[in-house]
Amino acid sequence: MQKLVVRCFALSLDGFSSAPGQSLENPFGKGGLVIMDWARQTRSFHKMIGQEGGSTGIDDDFMAKAMDNIGANILGRNMFGPVRGPWADDDWKGWWGPNPPYHTQVFVVTHHARSALAMEGGTTFHFVNDGIESALQQAFVAAQGKDVRLGGGATLVRQYLQAGLIDELHIVITDKLLGSGERLFEGTDNLARDYECVETVASGTVTHVRLAKKKRD
């Protein structure tokens, strides 16, 4: 069975996954990038951006496995970029440069139609504007038997959680405070009924928590 998984999704201690005020300079909102400090210091992250060094250990293990058995990705439109409203042109091609770190078909959920965008390294962005279920169906097909990773942001993850469509959710509770921003757990009243915590591992300043969908008898 193919799964929809969320991996390495970082939260501030007060529950936010990004700060307000996203812009070209501040992909995670103003001051929001600190919740990724734990990830950015790992060897896997260094490798991803073509650098030597970085930490090994629990945080790095989670980062190293984040793309394991992933055949397609789904992103929210704001995770793809800071552009809002109808696409005026095709200039914006994501935060990641010519060779994005996905190397799969990527389905960007948006209300605004746009043609598919083929990048280097096997990544193609498809803009899906008929809802989260359609994006998931297309991603499962594209993944050819492998799992699908839902990258974020919170607005999109929340909707898949509410619909009970996520099979595994790995969150990273950091020691950073944001005060405001996008909450992951908001209006997710079904969480206690549909999900359970299956793993808690701490690594210094952050705690990795894995939630899984409850098995029905």
Ligand X SMILES: NC(=O)c1ccc[n+]([C@@H]2O[C@H](COP(=O)([O-])OP(=O)(O)OC[C@H]3O[C@@H](n4cnc5c(N)ncnc54)[C@H](OP(=O)(O)O)[C@@H]3O)[C@@H](O)[C@H]2O)c1
In the complex, the residues that contact its own copies under the rule CB under 8 A are: 13-15, 31, 173, 175-180, 185, 188-193, 195-197, 200-202, 204-207, 209, 211
Closest separation in Å from C-beta 191 to its own copies: 4
From the list ligand X, its own copies, none, pick the one residue 72 interacts with, judged by a Cβ distance below 5 to 8 Å according to partner type: none
The reply on whether position 110 binds ligand X by CB under 6 A is yes
Which residue, 88 or 192, has its beta carbon nearer to its own copies? 192
- State which residue has the least CB distance to ligand X: 153
CA-nearest of 198, 196, 170 to 58 is 170
> How far out from the chain centre does Cα 102 lie?
11
- Please give the Cα distance from 51 to 7 (Å, whole number): 22
The reply on whether position 59 binds ligand X by CB under 6 A is no
Strands 168-173 and 70-76: unpaired
The reply on whether position 139 binds ligand X by CB under 6 A is no
The reply on whether position 102 binds ligand X by CB under 6 A is no
Site for ligand X in 141-160 (CB under 6 A): 151-156, 159
- Please give the Cα distance from 202 to 5 (Å, whole number): 20
- Please give the Cα distance from 161 to 184 (Å, whole number): 9
Q: Give the CB-side neighbour count of residue 83, counting CA atoms within 13 A.
A: 18
For residue 191, which amino acid is it?
Answer: L
For the chain, what is the total number of helices (H) and then of strands (E)?
A: 7, 11
Segment near ligand X (CB under 6 A); pick from 45-53, 104-112, 114-122, 199-207: 104-112
Which residues are near ligand X by CB under 6 A? 9-10, 17-18, 22, 27-29, 35, 76-79, 84, 109-112, 129, 131-132, 151-156, 159, 182
